[in-house]
Amino acid sequence: MTRTSTAIGVRSASAAAALMLAATMFLPKAEAAALTQKSVMDALPKLEALANKLVERKSGPGESGSDKSVPGLSVAVVFQNKLVYLKGFGLREIGKPERVDADTVFQLASLSKPITSTIVAAMIGKDIASWDAKIADLDPGFRLADPYPTSELTLTDLFAHRSGLPGDAGNELEAIGYDRAEILRRLRFVPPASSFRAGYSYSNFGFTEGGAAAARAVGKPWEEVAEDKLFKPLGMTSTSARYADFVNRSNRAALHILDGGQWRAAVKRRPDAQAPAGGVSSTARDLAKWMLLELDYANGRAAAIPINPEAIARTHAPLIDRGKNPVTGAASFYGLGWNAEFGARGPEWGHAAAFSAGARTLVKLSPGADLGIVVLANAFPTGAPEGLADSFFDLVFDGRVGEDWFSKWNRLFASMFDQGAAAGAVYEKAASPQSQALPFSAYAGRYANDFIGEAVVLEEGGGLVLRLGPSLDASFPLTHFDRDSFFFRPAKDTPNLSGAAFEIGPDQKAGQMTIGDFNGFGMGVLKRTAK
């Protein structure tokens, strides 16, 4: 993979122009199948029956994907400028009696992205000139690794994930406690994953910088801008981009992960650092108002709040190729915070989301049919949101469910979960033959690089402990694997294991350490700074 950052090439420019031309060709009303009110209303009882089945059992989805349960769900459907369905199902938290309803607040994870794109669209022409506003003008202190992309980077580049930033860059810094400002500052040390504007790389913190830079135009924190531009004007009274607001809601859904094949509420997820990309919490009732707003603009109706129609329309334009939908096979592109897909039923706009700590959410809109659904679930891994939404669209358009979408999507999300486990499987049994480690004093010491910052390896409790983060309070016990190689579990909500390998110098002391979980884009090597 090319790791140089250059101007967009002729072939890439041609592809981008073709995609923009395609955006003008996919007119929602002309392309999507017409729906009658009867076809939608007839599908709603069947949707409810499917949702009820999802919460009947409290075990996990199972390896085969045949067990489709989740602890709790909340669902909203809008059609032709009306909210036609709104209901909660199941439990807010396993083992407790409180049930999910239409006003239960869920953490949305990356469903925050299309919401953020709506917020920034509301700023275009008022606070920001256009989606092509340069980040260098909005946030002069932000840097990428190379000067040319830094000078040319726009809101569009960040919201379409085409800046060249590797997808995971910053996620690991958030996990060990760094705040938004420091994570965004450290992105300048990360080598690009592709040439500028030439490749799609889904980046939470690239997207977050887009939201943060837009907020700087009005001199307010992002969280206040989100309230001022969308949540308050639209009456989304239970929606916030602050984790503190989420935990202060009495009617909120707990996160659930699999533990021994059972759902368990075991992990908290505080996503404030990436609030524009993944930190919004909301209800099905509030999100229905947002879906109606999107569909009003798509269909030329008067909307609840004023937004430049061209600015919001651009968020749905297909800007960069994502390949094919892994389950449906539909051609899939990314716009500005939205997935744009094109199939036999015309264009569909949507976004899926997940926290490995226990959240799954989905929005799916058919602009030409004037139809939308949002599904919120309090568990991971599960394909329940996609399974429910795809089954509902089948019912509405075709009168019957054509595929077992639940099993297909469950298998996909289970495989994503399993990939993490497979990457660390090498550490699950001791190396054979196993070489003995040096005395622990050979590895103990302080290490650092510009991206991760300082790391300390300590002798503690008869073993070694790795400490990371701004206050070195993220603590990871190291387990010996073979000679100078150890491993640890980076997060308790996933099965992943990460290596920590030491390079020994002539003085029989480690001169550097490589942390596998940070080394996907070459930033996991830390040099010793003190003996």
Backbone phi, then psi, for 171, in 5-degree steps? -60, -45
**SS3 at position 345:** coil
Query: Is 32 or 330 the better-scoring residue by pLDDT?
Result: 330
| Tokens encoding 150 | 């830094």
Check residue 187 and give its pLDDT. 98
- Whether residue 224 contacts residue 196, with contact meaning beta carbons closer than 8 Å, is answered with no
Task: With a cut of 70, say whether residue 374 has pLDDT above it.
Answer: yes
477-492: per-residue pLDDT in tens?
999 999 999 999 988 7
Nearest to 65 by CA among 56, 73, 54, 76: 54
46-63: per-residue pLDDT in tens?
999 999 999 986 555 544
- Whether residue 164 contacts residue 193, with contact meaning beta carbons closer than 8 Å, is answered with yes
Q: Among 8-12, 280-284, 414-418, which stretch is predicted with the lowest mean pLDDT?
A: 8-12
Check residue 1 and give its pLDDT. 25
- Whether residue 350 contacts residue 105, with contact meaning beta carbons closer than 8 Å, is answered with no
Mean pLDDT of the 88-113 span:
97
Q: Among 65-69, 149-153, 351-355, 505-509, which stretch is predicted with the lowest mean pLDDT?
A: 65-69
The amino acid that residue 465 corresponds to is V
Residues 281, 240: Cα–Cα separation, whole Å: 6
Task: With a cut of 60, say whether residue 18 has pLDDT above it.
Answer: no
Mean of the per-residue pLDDT values of the chain = 90
207-249: per-residue pLDDT in tens?
999 999 999 999 999 999 999 999 999 999 999 999 999 999 9
Local confidence band at 35 (pLDDT 50, 70, 90 cut-offs): confident
Alpha helices in 227-355 (DSSP H): 243-247, 275-278, 284-298, 309-314
Residues 167, 170: Cα–Cα separation, whole Å: 9
144-203: per-residue pLDDT in tens?
999 999 999 999 999 999 999 999 999 999 999 999 999 999 999 999 999 999 999 999
Local confidence band at 329 (pLDDT 50, 70, 90 cut-offs): confident
Q: What does 100-148 look like in DSSP terms, one character per residue?
A: P-TT-BEE-GGGHHHHHHHHHHTTBTTTBS-TT-BHHHH-TT---SSHH
Local confidence band at 16 (pLDDT 50, 70, 90 cut-offs): very low
Q: What does 380-435 look like in DSSP terms, one character per residue?
A: BS--HHHHHHHHHHHHHHHSS--S-HHHHHHHHHHHHHHHHHHHTGGGSS--SSPP
Task: With a cut of 80, say whether residue 9 has pLDDT above it.
Answer: no
474 burial type by CB count under 10 A (0-12 exposed, 13-18 middle, 19+ buried): middle
Mean pLDDT of the 509-522 span:
93
| Tokens encoding 529 | 């700074």
- Whether residue 220 contacts residue 228, with contact meaning beta carbons closer than 8 Å, is answered with yes
Enumerate residues 6+ apart whose C-beta is below 8 A from 427: 479, 481, 487, 497, 499
Q: What is the percent of the chain with per-residue pLDDT over 70, rounded to a whole number?
A: 88
Check residue 427 and give its pLDDT. 74
The amino acid that residue 457 corresponds to is V
| Tokens encoding 444 | 């103990």
Task: With a cut of 80, say whether residue 425 has pLDDT above it.
Answer: no
Task: With a cut of 70, say whether residue 402 has pLDDT above it.
Answer: yes
Mean pLDDT of the 128-138 span:
98
Q: The whole model's pTM is what?
A: 0.91
Task: With a cut of 70, say whether residue 80 has pLDDT above it.
Answer: yes
433-447: per-residue pLDDT in tens?
789 999 999 999 999
Residue 110 exposure: Cα atoms within 13 Å on the Cβ side: 18
Residues 496, 489: Cα–Cα separation, whole Å: 6
Check residue 12 and give its pLDDT. 35
Check residue 330 and give its pLDDT. 87
Residues 349, 342: Cα–Cα separation, whole Å: 9
Residues 293, 318: Cα–Cα separation, whole Å: 20
Task: With a cut of 80, say whether residue 393 has pLDDT above it.
Answer: yes
